[in-house]
C-alpha cells in the first residue's frame, strides 16, 4: 500500500471517530427553558398562574403528540387517543377532574348541578346560554340525540355497553342496540330512557338507580350531538369544514396520518383558553417523539419508559420529565381451567417468586409502581400493597414452601407457556419472569411471542396458560376493574375465575343501598380475587412518562383518568409561559 493511501486511510478513520464522538457525546442543546422549575417529578402539579405569567397571544401555540385517532366522533371511539382529542372538542354533562389527592372527582360541565334523583329517574338541568361552535344553542335535545346514536346499532359504538345493563343501566339502550328489525327501530328509539322536557331539562330513566351516574355521564359516550349536522353530512360531519363542537377548542385542520390543528371555540362558554393553537402530531414511535422533543419540535409528548433514564441524565431534560400514574394494573393472567394452575399452592408459588420491585427497576427503569393490588391507586376503596404483600408478595421462602405443598399432594409441575406480545419490553419482562421461576422454583416456563391481534385472539378464546395483561379503567370507579372480569361467566372473565366468595361479594355490592357499603363489598371482592389469585397475579400499576416543556403551564394532573396526555381534561387551563 502506498504512503498516500495509508495517510488517506488514517484520515478517514479519524474522521469516523470524530463523527461517532460528536453523536455520542453531549446532550446537545435541548429545547428546555433553562430556568429552574419544580415541574419535574411524579405527576407534580404545575402551578396555575395568572395572565401576567402568560406569553402574548401570538406565542400561545403548542405542538403535542398523540397516536392518530381512529375517529373524532365520540360515539364511534374506542381508544385513548380518540378520547383525548374529543375531550378538547366536546364536553358532556359532567367532567372528571383531579381531586388533589391522586384521585378524581366529578364536576358539572354542561350540567348546572348534580342531578335530582327520584328512584331511577334522574333530572338534570343544563346551564343557561350554552352554545355550539357555530353559535347555535346547545339544548337538552342534543344530549338526547347523542344517546340515541350511542344506542343505535348502525352507529356501532364500541362503548355502548357502559350505558347498558350492569353499568349505566339506561332504560331501553340494550334493546335498541341489539334490535335487528328495522320496523321496530323508531319505537325502540322513542322508548329510550332519555327525554328533553324543555331546552334545559333532561330526564334520564334507568332500569335501577346506580351510584356511578355522574361518573358515567362524564364519559365521551354521553357527549351531545347535533342532529341537523350529522343528517346533512353523514360520516363526514367530523371533517374540519363541517364539525360543530361544544368544547373549548374546535378542529380546524385534519391531515390524515400527520396532524390535527385545534383553535379556540369562539362560542365556548367556559374558562377561555389562553392557547390560540394546538397542533397534535400523530406519532406512534415514542422514540422518534422523544427526539423531536429534544429538537424543540414538540412541546409535550409521551415517551418510552426506557427513555426516562436518558432524559434524567440531561440537566435540562430532567426538569421536563413527568411520570403520571396510569389507571391500569398489569398482571399475569392465569388460565384457571388448567389443572396445575387451578391449584392455589402453585399460583402462590408463582406469585411469591416474582420480585416486582426489581422487575420494574430492571425492565422499566423504575417507571411503574410494583403492585400486589388490583384496584388502582386513586380510586375510592383502594387498599394497596399493605393489604396483600404478606399474602402474595415476593418471598422466596414462602414461594418454595407453596411449591412443596403443591408437590406434597402428589402433583408434578408441567412445563408452562407464557404468551406475550413480541415487543422489546415484553421480551425483557418475559425473560425476567422465566428466569425468576426457573431459579427460585425450578419451574420451566416457555415464552411464546406473538403479535398483538394474535395474542388478543388467543386470550378471547381462552387459549393460554400464563398471559401478561391487565385492565385499563373505562371510568374511575371501583366497580369497573371488577364487574364482568371476576364474576362467574363474566364477559371479560377469560381466565375462568369462579369463586363463591367472589360471586357473593358481587351480589352484596349489587344489593348495597349506600355508596360506602357498595365500596366495602367490592373491596371484599378484590381481597378474594387477589389473595386467591383468581385469574390474575398483579405485578405493577402502570405509569406513563411524558416530556413536558417548561414553557407550558397550567397542566394539571389527571388523577386516575386515562392519561393520553396529562391534564387533557382541562386543556383550557394550559398556557405558554412568558419567556
Partner 1 sequence: MATYAIRRVLWVIPVLWAVATITFVLMHLVPGGPFTQDKKLPPAVTDALERRYHFDQPLWKQYSLFLWNSSHGDLGLSVRGDREVSDVIRHGFFVTAQLGTMGFVVAVVLGMTLGTLSALNHNGPLDYLGVGFSTIGASVPNFILGSFLVVLFAVNIQIFKVLGWGGPLQVSDIFDSSAYDWRKLVLPVVAISALPASFIARVTRASVLEVLSQDYIRTARAKGLAESRVVLRHTIKNALIPTLTVMGPIAANLVTGSFIIETMFAINGVGKESIDAIVRRDYQVILGTTLFYTMIVTFANLAVDLAYAAVDPRIRYR
For 82-114, b/e burial (b = at least 16 CB within 10 A) is bbbbbbbbbbbbbbbbbbeebbbebebbbbeeb
- 258 contacts partner 1 (rule: CB under 8 A): yes
Rounded to whole angstroms, the Cα distance separating 217 from 207 reads 15
Interactions with partner 1, residue window 517-576 (CB under 8 A) = none
- 178 contacts partner 1 (rule: CB under 8 A): yes
Rounded to whole angstroms, the Cα distance separating 234 from 236 reads 5
The CB-of-490 to partner 1 minimum distance in angstroms stands at 10
Task: Give the one residue of 226, 259, 319, 380 binding partner 1; rule: CB under 8 A.
Answer: 259
User: Grid coordinates in use for 567?
Assistant: 391534564
Cβ neighbors of 217 (< 8 A, separation 6 or more) are 92, 93, 94, 124, 204
- 123 contacts partner 1 (rule: CB under 8 A): no
- 459 contacts partner 1 (rule: CB under 8 A): yes
- 174 contacts partner 1 (rule: CB under 8 A): yes
Q: How far is CA 448 from CA 420, 458, 468, in A?
A: 6, 12, 11
The CB-of-183 to partner 1 minimum distance in angstroms stands at 17
Q: Indicate the residue among 8 and 309 with the shorter CB distance to partner 1.
A: 8
Interactions with partner 1, residue window 13-42 (CB under 8 A) = 19, 22-24, 26, 28-29
- 256 contacts partner 1 (rule: CB under 8 A): yes
Interactions with partner 1, residue window 396-435 (CB under 8 A) = none
Task: Give the one residue of 269, 276, 428, 454 binding partner 1; rule: CB under 8 A.
Answer: 454
- For cell 463523527, what's the residue? 19
Q: How far is CA 365 from CA 43, 284, 369, in A?
A: 17, 21, 11
Rounded to whole angstroms, the Cα distance separating 73 from 221 reads 10
Rounded to whole angstroms, the Cα distance separating 430 from 422 reads 10
The CB-of-287 to partner 1 minimum distance in angstroms stands at 8
Of 65-73, 91-99, 431-439, 514-522, the window that binds partner 1 (rule: CB under 8 A) is 65-73
What one-character DSSP code corresponds to residue 232?
H
The CB-of-262 to partner 1 minimum distance in angstroms stands at 17
> Which backbone phi and psi does 136 adopt, to 5 degrees?
-70, 145
Q: Is 528 helix (H, G, I), strand (E, B) or coil?
A: helix
Of 240-248, 359-367, 386-394, 454-462, the window that binds partner 1 (rule: CB under 8 A) is 454-462
- 488 contacts partner 1 (rule: CB under 8 A): no
- 74 contacts partner 1 (rule: CB under 8 A): no
Q: Is 58 exposed, middle or buried (0-12, 13-18, 19+ CB in 10 A)?
A: exposed
Instruction: Using CB under 8 A, list all residues that contact partner 1.
Output: 4-5, 8-9, 12, 19, 22-24, 26, 28-29, 69-71, 78, 153-158, 160-161, 164, 174, 177-178, 235, 255-259, 281-285, 287-289, 291-292, 294-298, 451-460, 469, 471-472, 491-492, 494
Amino acid at each position: 500500500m502506498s504512503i498516500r493511501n495509508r495517510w488517506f486511510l488514517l484520515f478517514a478513520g479519524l474522521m469516523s471517530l470524530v463523527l461517532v464522538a460528536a453523536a455520542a457525546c453531549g446532550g446537545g442543546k435541548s429545547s428546555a427553558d433553562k430556568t429552574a422549575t419544580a415541574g419535574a417529578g411524579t405527576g407534580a402539579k404545575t402551578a396555575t398562574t395568572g395572565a401576567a405569567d402568560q406569553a402574548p397571544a401570538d406565542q400561545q401555540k403548542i405542538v403535542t403528540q398523540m397516536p392518530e385517532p381512529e375517529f373524532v366522533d365520540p360515539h364511534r371511539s374506542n381508544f385513548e387517543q380518540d378520547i383525548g382529542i374529543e375531550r378538547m372538542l366536546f364536553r358532556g354533562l359532567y367532567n372528571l377532574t383531579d381531586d388533589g389527592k391522586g384521585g378524581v372527582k366529578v364536576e358539572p360541565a354542561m350540567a348546572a348541578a348534580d342531578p335530582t334523583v327520584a328512584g331511577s329517574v334522574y333530572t338534570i338541568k343544563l346551564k343557561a346560554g350554552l352554545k355550539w361552535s357555530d353559535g347555535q344553542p346547545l339544548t337538552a335535545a342534543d344530549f338526547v340525540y347523542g344517546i340515541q346514536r350511542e344506542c343505535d346499532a348502525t352507529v356501532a359504538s364500541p362503548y355502548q355497553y357502559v350505558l347498558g345493563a350492569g353499568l349505566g343501566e339506561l332504560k331501553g339502550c340494550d334493546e335498541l342496540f341489539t334490535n335487528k328489525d328495522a320496523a321496530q327501530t323508531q319505537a325502540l328509539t322513542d322508548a329510550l330512557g332519555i327525554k328533553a322536557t324543555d331546552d334545559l331539562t333532561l330526564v334520564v330513566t334507568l332500569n335501577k338507580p346506580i351510584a356511578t351516574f355522574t361518573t358515567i355521564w362524564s364519559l365521551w359516550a354521553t357527549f351531545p350531538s347535533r342532529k341537523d349536522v350529522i343528517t346533512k353530512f353523514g360520516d363526514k360531519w367530523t371533517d374540519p369544514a363541517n364539525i360543530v363542537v361544544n368544547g373549548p377548542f374546535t378542529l380546524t385542520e385534519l391531515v390524515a396520518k400527520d396532524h390535527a390543528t385545534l383553535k379556540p371555540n369562539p362560542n365556548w362558554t367556559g374558562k377561555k383558553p389562553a392557547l390560540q393553537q394546538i397542533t397534535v402530531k400523530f406519532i406512534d414511535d415514542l422514540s422518534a417523539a422523544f427526539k423531536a422533543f429534544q429538537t424543540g419540535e414538540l412541546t409535550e409528548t409521551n415517551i418510552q419508559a426506557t427513555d426516562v433514564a436518558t432524559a434524567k441524565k440531561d440537566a435540562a431534560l430532567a426538569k421536563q420529565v413527568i411520570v403520571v400514574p396510569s389507571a391500569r394494573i398489569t398482571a399475569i393472567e392465569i388460565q384457571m381451567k388448567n389443572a396445575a394452575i387451578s391449584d392455589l399452592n402453585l399460583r402462590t408459588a408463582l406469585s411469591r417468586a416474582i420480585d416486582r420491585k426489581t422487575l420494574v427497576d430492571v425492565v422499566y427503569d423504575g417507571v411503574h409502581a410494583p403492585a400486589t393490588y388490583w384496584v388502582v391507586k386513586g380510586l375510592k376503596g383502594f387498599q394497596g400493597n399493605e393489604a396483600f404483600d404478606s399474602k402474595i408478595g415476593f418471598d422466596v421462602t414462602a414461594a418454595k414452601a407453596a411449591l412443596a405443598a403443591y408437590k406434597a399432594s402428589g402433583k408434578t409441575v408441567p412445563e408452562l407457556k407464557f404468551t406475550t406480545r413480541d415487543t422489546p419490553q415484553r421480551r425483557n419482562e418475559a425473560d425476567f419472569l422465566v428466569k425468576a421461576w426457573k431459579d427460585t422454583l425450578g419451574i420451566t416456563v416457555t415464552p411464546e411471542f406473538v403479535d398483538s391481534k394474535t395474542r388478543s385472539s388467543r386470550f378471547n378464546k381462552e387459549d393460554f396458560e400464563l398471559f401478561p395483561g391487565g385492565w385499563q379503567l373505562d371510568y374511575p370507579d371501583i366497580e369497573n376493574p371488577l364487574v364482568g372480569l371476576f364474576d362467574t361467566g363474566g364477559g371479560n372473565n377469560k381466565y375462568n375465575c369462579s369463586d363463591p366468595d367472589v360471586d357473593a361479594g358481587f351480589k352484596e355490592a349489587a344489593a348495597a343501598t349506600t355508596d360506602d357499603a357498595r365500596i366495602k363489598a367490592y373491596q371484599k371482592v378484590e381481597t378474594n380475587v387477589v389473595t386467591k389469585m383468581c385469574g390474575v397475579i398483579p405485578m405493577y400499576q402502570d405509569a406513563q412518562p411524558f416530556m413536558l416543556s417548561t414553557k407550558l403551564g397550567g397542566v394539571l394532573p389527571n388523577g386516575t383518568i386515562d392519561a393520553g396526555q396529562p391534564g387533557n381534561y382541562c386543556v383550557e387551563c394550559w398556557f405558554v409561559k412568558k419567556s
